[in-house]
C-alpha cells in the first residue's frame, strides 16, 4: 500500500552518496576512492591488482578470459551486491565501460561502427545511453555509495584560443552520470609525493555535520572547497 508523506515542510537531508572523480592517470583517483568504507572496485584495466580494495574485472572473468557479454556481467554483479557487505561501489573507469558497452552493441548488431546500418540515425548511441541510464538508476536504488572514476583531457576552443580541463567521458554520458551525482571532485598530482583534491561541483553547500560517516567526512575534508572556509580543510594538501 502506498503511504503519502505529511503535508508539511521537512528538513532536507544533504549527505552526499554519489561521487564523480576525474583526473590524470596516477593523480590519486583510485587511491582516494579506495578509502571509502567497504569499497568494491569494478575495474576495466590492469591496475586493480595494485589497489588496496577488493576488485572485480568487468572485461575479464575469474579465469582471466575476455568477457564478451560485459553488459550481462555488469548486470549479474549488481544483482548480487545486495547479498554482500560492500557499501561503496567504484566504477573505474566509466569511459571504458561506455566503450565496452558500445563495442558489444555494435558487434551484436553485426555492424562495424555504432553509427552504421541498423544503428544509424542515433539508434546505436541511444541504446548505449539507455544502458548507462539504467546502470545509474540501478546503482542509485541500492543502499551504497557510488563513485564514478574518469580520466581527464584538455579541451581546446580553437575559435577563442583557449583550453580547459574536462573529464574524458563524453558529454552526453557525463551529463547523465554527473546529473545524478552529489559531488564532482578533481584530483591532481603536484609533486613526487603531493596530491591535491578539489570539489568542482556540489549539489548542496555541505558542512561537516551533514556527513554522518566519519571516514567519508575525513576524506571529504581533504578536498579543497568542499566545506565553508572556516573549516579545517581549506587550502589543505595531502602527502601520501
Domain boundaries of the chain, sorted by first residue? 28-185
Q: Which residues of the chain have pLDDT under 50?
A: 231, 233-236, 239
Q: How far is CA 199 from CA 104, 108, 186, 205, 223, in A?
A: 34, 40, 7, 11, 6
- Number of residues that make up the chain: 240
Do 21 and 183 touch, CB atoms closer than 8 A? no
Rounded distance between C-alpha atoms, residue 101 and residue 106, angstroms: 9
Q: What is the pLDDT of residue 116?
A: 96
* Peptide bond between residue 93 and the one before it cis (omega within 30 degrees of 0): yes
Rounded distance between C-alpha atoms, residue 235 and residue 135, angstroms: 35
Rounded distance between C-alpha atoms, residue 187 and residue 25, angstroms: 10
Q: What is the pLDDT of residue 230?
A: 62
How many of the other CB atoms lie within 10 Å of CB of 218? 13
Which cell is 15 given?
549527505
Q: What is the pLDDT of residue 236?
A: 47
Do 40 and 56 touch, CB atoms closer than 8 A? yes
DSSP state of 60: B
Residues 6+ apart with CB under 8 A from 29: 21, 22, 23, 92, 149, 187
Q: For the whole model, what pTM was predicted? A: 0.90
Counting runs of H as helices and runs of E as strands, what totals does the chain give? 6, 10
Evaluated on CA atoms 153, 78, 87, 127, the torsion sign reads positive
Q: What is the pLDDT of residue 58?
A: 94
Reading phi first (left if > 0) and then psi (alpha if -120 to 50, else beta), residue 28 is in left
Q: Can you tell me whether residue 156 is helix, strand or coil?
A: strand
Q: At what angle do helices 171-178 and 123-140 cross, to 10 degrees?
A: 20
Q: What is the pLDDT of residue 48?
A: 63
Amino acid at each position: 500500500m502506498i503511504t503519502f508523506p505529511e503535508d508539511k515542510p521537512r528538513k532536507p537531508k544533504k549527505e552526499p552518496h554519489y561521487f564523480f572523480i576525474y583526473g590524470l592517470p596516477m593523480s590519486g583517483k583510485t587511491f582516494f576512492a579506495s578509502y571509502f568504507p567497504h569499497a568494491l572496485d569494478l575495474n576495466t584495466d590492469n591496475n586493480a591488482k595494485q589497489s588496496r580494495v577488493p576488485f572485480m574485472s568487468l572485461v575479464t572473468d575469474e579465469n582471466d578470459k575476455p568477457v564478451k557479454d560485459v553488459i550481462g556481467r555488469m548486470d549479474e554483479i549488481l544483482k548480487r551486491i545486495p547479498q554482500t557487505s560492500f557499501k561503496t561501489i567504484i566504477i573505474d573507469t566509466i569511459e571504458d565501460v561506455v566503450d565496452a558497452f558500445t563495442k558489444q552493441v555494435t558487434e551484436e548488431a553485426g555492424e562495424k561502427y555504432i553509427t552504421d546500418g541498423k544503428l544509424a540515425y542515433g539508434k546505436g548511441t541511444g541504446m548505449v545511453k539507455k544502458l548507462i541510464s539504467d546502470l545509474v538508476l540501478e546503482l542509485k536504488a541500492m543502499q551504497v555509495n557510488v563513485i564514478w572514476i574518469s580520466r581527464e583531457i584538455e579541451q581546446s576552443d580553437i575559435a577563442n584560443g583557449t583550453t580547459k580541463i574536462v573529464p574524458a567521458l563524453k558529454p552526453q554520458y557525463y551529463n547523465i552520470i554527473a546529473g545524478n551525482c552529489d559531488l564532482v571532485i578533481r584530483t591532481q598530482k603536484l609533486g613526487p609525493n603531493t596530491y591535491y583534491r578539489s570539489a568542482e561541483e556540489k549539489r548542496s553547500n555541505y558542512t561537516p555535520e551533514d556527513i554522518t560517516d566519519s571516514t567519508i567526512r575525513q576524506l571529504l575534508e581533504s578536498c579543497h572547497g568542499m566545506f565553508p572556509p572556516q573549516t579545517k580543510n581549506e587550502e589543505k594538501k595531502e602527502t601520501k
